[in-house]
Copies of this chain bind each other. A is one copy, B any other.
Amino acid sequence: MEINTATDAFAALSQETRLAAFRLLVRAGPAGLPAGEIARSLGAAPSTLSTHLGLLQRAGLVSSERRSRRIVYRADFDGVGALIRFLMKDCCKGHPAVRAALDDAA
């Protein structure tokens, strides 16, 4: 993973509303959620959420698909996996505290 790809992904998750949107999508699973519903859930303007979702998408953390009038967003687990891999390998592979995180999740 390029260093700039990584900073983009971290930036995408570094904002409260955006991280909240991302977590909603993770919890929603493969069905995803339409943009408007996310905006309503988080109490923000549709245009605001649209901006945030676009940024998450450019960072490779979510994908979108038009479903009739709705645009459904989904968490992109490959993207998240790549980011975790970056943190693991490139930053901290083999360190005890990081191993602990692995075992924890296993």
Identical copies of this chain, number: 2
Instruction: Given contacts A10-B11, A11-B14, A26-B91, list 12 more A-B pairs with CB under 8 A.
Output: A3-B20, A4-B16, A7-B19, A81-B95, A81-B100, A84-B87, A84-B98, A85-B101, A88-B101, A88-B104, A93-B105, A102-B106
- Is A13's beta carbon under 8 Å from chain B? yes
Binary contact track A1-26/B, C-beta < 8 Å → 1, others 0:
00110111011011110011011001
In the assembled complex, which residues on chain B have CB atoms less than 8 Å from the CB atom of A101?
A: 81-82, 84-85, 88
Query: A32 to nearest B CB, angstroms?
Result: 14
Which residues of A does B touch, CB under 8 Å? 3-4, 6-8, 10-11, 13-16, 19-20, 22-23, 26, 75, 77-78, 80-85, 87-93, 95-98, 100-102, 104-106
